[in-house]
Structure 1
Amino acid sequence: MMSWKPEKTTGIWINVVTVGELSHCALGFYGGHWSPNGDSILADGYCGSFDLWKDVGVASDDWKPQKVPSGHFAAVSDIDRNSSYKLLIWQTTRVFAPWSKRSSSENEESWHEIALPQVHEESSLFDDLQADVQILGANMSALGLSQKPVYTQVSPDTTNRNNNDSLDTLETIPDAVPVELTEQPVEEQLAWHTLWPESHKLYGHGNELYSLCCDHRGKLVASSCKAQSASVAEIWLWQVGSWKSVCRLHSHRADESIYELVTRQEAHKRIIWACSWNPFGLEFATGSRDKTVKIWAVENGMTVKQLMTLPSFKSSVTALSWTDLSRRSNHGILAVGMESGLIE
């Protein structure tokens, strides 16, 4: 973002303020807006982010990035929490966590974005790192499709340096240095300092992935893809750790495995887009395009009984995540993500 004003003697318009890093905002900004008193600039980015800068200088201009609301610019398609209930993750992907603000009089806690992992990364960039290489930050490409790690040599031995010529270094990206965040990170800090290196790619499905889920013990990951034919309508089970495929459930039927279909029931009027188990009980929730969420119970391991239907939502339900914070089967929180982008 650049602001201009005419030079007093010649009338030529010159750039007086430049804020923002285009490489961090994918294809740049769509537009900007001045605050009423002219000491702040708000911009909207290509990837759905807001960016705010404020002139905090006294004797001269000193424009610094400020905290702004963050989140998604399209429908929420999936949502999940980690096992310790400290992080909340959903696609495209953004990671939110509780941020505690302690003062002498009160202890405030609110949720803020703390990491912005990217997709379409090449796993070989991360798998081939030597033990003497330390990743310090990230450099986002111009199109915003990937983040390359910025690394430094821990030891003076640089004999293997040529093997990592494709990686950015502190010499090429001098601003990527470790930082200790004392306040909620802004968009530029998220882009530089919150790289989550990709470690594996799992191949197998015939079409694009539609849904992912991990069991509450953290032993298995289930994946499914979009399908218009029975040959690719499969649920794959992956073993955490080895990341090998351990089972394929073809067209929702038993396929030479220890898993078999025990019951089948028409549950919603439209397509079911989400399902989530109660971590400590034999209940699960289903969410549908018909704007409803239903709660079910498994009885005797063979039958399913509907317990209740939540009040109808204003938009189609696209994501569910059931968390039992109290470690008791009937006490917990159910997060509901909707096509409109809202989460309740």
Structure 2
Amino acid sequence: MMMEISAEYLAAGANRHPSVADWDEGGILAFGADRNIALWSPQNHDSRGALALLSGHTDTVNVVKFIPKSDGILLSGSVDKTIRIWRRDPSSEQYSCIQTLGDHESSLNCIAVATGSRIFASGSADATIKLWTLDDQNVTTLKQTIEVKPRFFPLALALSPLTDAPDSYVLAAAGTKDIIQLYVLDSQIRQDFKLQATLSGHEGWIRCLEFTKENDSPHSDILLSSASQDKYIRLWRIHQGKELPAAAANQDPSFGAFLPGKSLSNKAHRFKAQSLDFSATFEALLLGHEDWIYSTKWRAHDQKLQLLSASADNSLAIWESDSMTGVWVTVARLGEISAEKGSTTATGSTGGFWTGLWSPSGTTVTCLGRTGSWRLWNYDKDLQRWIQGVGISGHTQTVTGIAWSKKGDYLLSTSSDQTTRLHAKWKRGDQESWHEMTRPQIHGYDLNCIDSLGTSQFVSGADEKLLRVFDEPKAVANLLNKLCGIGGDHIENMPDAANMPVLGLSNKAIEAVEDDEEVQLGKSNDREAIDPASIVRKSTLSLDHPPLEDQLSRHTLWPETEKLYGHGYEISCLAASHDGSIIATACKASSIDHAVIRLFETRTWHEIKPPLKAHSLTVTRLRFSANDQYLLSVGRDRQWAVFKRDSTDGNNYEHLESNHKGHSRMILDAAWSPSDWPVFATSGRDKQVKIWAAERLTPNPDTFRLEATISEDHPVTAIDFLSLGTETQYFAVGTEAGTFKVYVLSPSDKFSVQPVPFAHKM
């Protein structure tokens, strides 16, 4: 039997790096997501999230670059010191890695490609720049290595044809110093790049360089934009001819007067290539950003050049040269108004925008923020302004726990990025797509585990030794009901919304205020002071689309209702019973005293004592059986333990059985079969999955025995069962290598286990 499995939803946050993304002329935006490359189609009207993940790198991806007009050649550079070359199959639209380059000795920071050529440059933390050529068979050859040590480490590169003659290029390089170096390849004289000019003027590290031709003329000047941590963008002109361009030749003496203490030197740097004379001169200084500038991108529009800049001040700016004066001015500013940035790192967007990109048509811009989410704006010709649309989001660190709501309406996820996120299906007409709908918890500790307590409540555990319980607020309930068709019951009994005090960790229930109502903010040093950005107006979440990133991070918090204490170390795992009456928890432990399982009942939130003892090291997973009669625990001490519910007191569980040699190495996960008879599976670092079943000879089984063993090629980190209401049961097995398999289990046929072949469909 062939099973078809399709990827319904891929959510991955982007890495924080100015070079981490690129937008191909075919409409695909590629970005680094941890050690993977995610592909997204921002202008696709079905609003799907990431389309695919390309895996291969063994460490964080820093830079992604398409080679223009190459029919889908994609370059990626990583902290793993390698460059990977990916090619798109025209028939299947799938990407595959065709070559891995390991010549660098440290992390890749930047890659530059030249339009209309098969040459590219790479810059690394090993303080070298390498030049490569890609032949017609897509085989890459290293042509030159440029040492920039000890001058700087390259953070930004730009590459452009210098003339219409073949093999004549200019390479701009900059990084951890305030200078830009221009290297020129003159094929008439030599076959390598030579340093021809050093451009000075910036006063901070330079994060981005970008070349463009000024117009379509064969003899057009080349403009270079440089974005720096000094909060300024500088434009430079490379001009062909012995005479200097007009701006440089007729410099106004008052040119630098508006910047106290700064001199805008316009020294002309002259060089030759292809027997032609060239000059590189300073063209313009762009002022307006209030913080570091991470990226700039050129775009030709209506015979005009536009420049898109992304800054740590949480804004994108679009710049144009005024047709009358030639002065570069901001024609649009997108992002956040200063007064709404927020006071805290948690609910504000502190960290700013890391990169901004134009769509191939120029009608859409996207930017990447600190939270790993993409924001998107579309240009409305009728209104003549940019309208924000629905982007995509995802965790930026390890996802440590997921849990479905009790009805399966939505999925909760929690992560080491200190957020809990709720994902649900946006339903509109005949279209459906998954999105992050709320961000219930934004925390100050890494979050480790989560479980649902019903349709509108969940509990999570973190590195802070306690557990927190959250209730759904009215604003979120209305949003989920309107967009997803979820819930809608008992909304009148819910709090309006929640916010987080500036200096606190607990989400407080608050009342939504009228749109025109003034709010007293209090003093900035007050622990209970209100973050002005977290005030929830009654119209805030009256949306006809999933919340945008600024709404997610500020207005979709869930109020915290309980804290559960008792553990002495970081919470390692938790599980809620299926009837929602019991929460079982454990913490990191290196002794029997701390490796206990604590139970809390959810009616009064009191701990049920004494705690359950069985393990000597950290408990890694807790699972209740489908009827809540059994509680299963597994741990780093290689053993599993089963506890049985007291028939007279439903809040008590008693130790039933342990197997001290369940696996030969630590056990990482466990799951109960949905069958009526007690059956469970365990998996571990010993690369095995084991099926255990209760003895059928007695009506009240007291012992579990091993019925089947499955061997895998990698440590098995996750398992779970699926019941289709038949005797046949499916279970999925996930490994440390990032792969998973599906097996079919037949308990009635001597627990036979067979792998299920399936077609993976995107």
Letter of the structure 1 residue corresponding to residue 608 of structure 2: V
1:78 is the counterpart of 2:401: yes
Q: Conserved in 2, the CA contact under 8 Å of 1:151 and 1:168?
A: no
Q: Conserved in 2, the CA contact under 8 Å of 1:96 and 1:115?
A: yes
TM-score (norm 1): 0.73
1:250 is the counterpart of 2:613: yes
Count the aligned residue pairs: 320
1:151 is the counterpart of 2:151: no
**Aligned partners of 1:119 and 1:136: how far apart in 2?**
18
1:275 is the counterpart of 2:699: no
1:87 is the counterpart of 2:87: no
Identity across matched positions, percent:
31
Q: Structure 2 matches for 1:193-208, cutoff 5 A?
A: 193-208=555-570
Q: Conserved in 2, the CA contact under 8 Å of 1:275 and 1:287?
A: yes
Letter of the structure 2 residue corresponding to residue 98 of structure 1: K
- Name whichever structure is richer in strand by fraction: 2
Q: Structure 2 matches for 1:1-344, cutoff 5 A?
A: 1-8=315-322, 9=325, 11-14=327-330, 16-20=332-336, 22-23=341-342, 24-68=348-392, 70-92=393-415, 93-103=420-430, 108-120=431-443, 135-139=495-499, 149-152=509-512, 166=528, 168=530, 173=535, 175=537, 177-247=539-609, 248-252=611-615, 259-281=654-676, 282-290=678-686, 293-299=689-695, 300-309=701-710, 312=713, 317-322=716-721, 324=723, 326-327=724-725, 330-331=728-729, 334=732
Structure 1 unaligned residues grouped into runs of 5+: 127-131, 155-161
TM-superposed deviation, 1:293: 4.5
> RMSD of aligned C-alpha atoms?
4.3
- SS state at 1:188 partner: helix
TM-superposed deviation, 1:327: 5.0
User: Any idea what the Cα deviations from partners look like across 1:213-240, whole Å, max 9, x if unmatched?
Assistant: 1122322111011112222111111112
TM-score (norm 2): 0.36
Larger radius of gyration: 2
**Aligned partners of 1:339 and 1:25: how far apart in 2?**
33
RCO comparison, higher one (Cα < 8 Å, 6+): 1
Letter of the structure 1 residue corresponding to residue 708 of structure 2: L
- Which segment is superposed worse, 214-223 or 167-176? 167-176
**Aligned partners of 1:292 and 1:188: how far apart in 2?**
44
TM-superposed deviation, 1:96: 1.8
Structure 2 unaligned residues grouped into runs of 5+: 1-314, 343-347, 445-466, 472-491, 515-521, 617-640, 644-651, 696-700, 742-762
TM-superposed deviation, 1:115: 1.9
Letter of the structure 2 residue corresponding to residue 249 of structure 1: L
| Shift in alpha-carbon separation, 1:237–1:149, aligned structure 2, 3 A | closer
TM-superposed deviation, 1:153: 7.3
Letter of the structure 2 residue corresponding to residue 197 of structure 1: P
**Aligned partners of 1:246 and 1:205: how far apart in 2?**
13
**Aligned partners of 2:739 and 2:352: how far apart in 1?**
26
**Aligned partners of 1:186 and 1:145: how far apart in 2?**
23
**Aligned partners of 1:56 and 1:340: how far apart in 2?**
45
- SS state at 1:67 partner: coil
TM-superposed deviation, 1:85: 1.9
- SS state at 1:64 partner: strand
Letter of the structure 2 residue corresponding to residue 215 of structure 1: S
**Aligned partners of 1:7 and 1:144: how far apart in 2?**
46
Q: Conserved in 1, the CA contact under 8 Å of 2:412 and 2:421?
A: yes
User: Any idea what the Cα deviations from partners look like across 1:76-112, whole Å, max 9, x if unmatched?
Assistant: 2222222212222221322222333433xxxx54433
- SS state at 1:116 partner: strand
TM-superposed deviation, 1:188: 3.0
User: Any idea what the Cα deviations from partners look like across 1:123-177, whole Å, max 9, x if unmatched?
Assistant: 8x99xxxxx99744455678996655552479xxxxxxx9xx9475999836563
**Aligned partners of 1:54 and 1:143: how far apart in 2?**
36
Q: Conserved in 2, the CA contact under 8 Å of 1:134 and 1:153?
A: no
**Aligned partners of 2:362 and 2:561: how far apart in 1?**
46
**Aligned partners of 2:533 and 2:593: how far apart in 1?**
51
TM-superposed deviation, 1:117: 1.2
| Shift in alpha-carbon separation, 1:85–1:327, aligned structure 2, 3 A | farther
| Shift in alpha-carbon separation, 1:298–1:180, aligned structure 2, 3 A | farther
**Aligned partners of 2:675 and 2:529: how far apart in 1?**
44
Q: Conserved in 2, the CA contact under 8 Å of 1:273 and 1:317?
A: yes
- SS state at 2:705 partner: strand
| Shift in alpha-carbon separation, 1:330–1:267, aligned structure 2, 3 A | farther
Letter of the structure 2 residue corresponding to residue 305 of structure 1: L
**Aligned partners of 1:146 and 1:245: how far apart in 2?**
21
User: Corresponding residue for 2:630?
Assistant: none
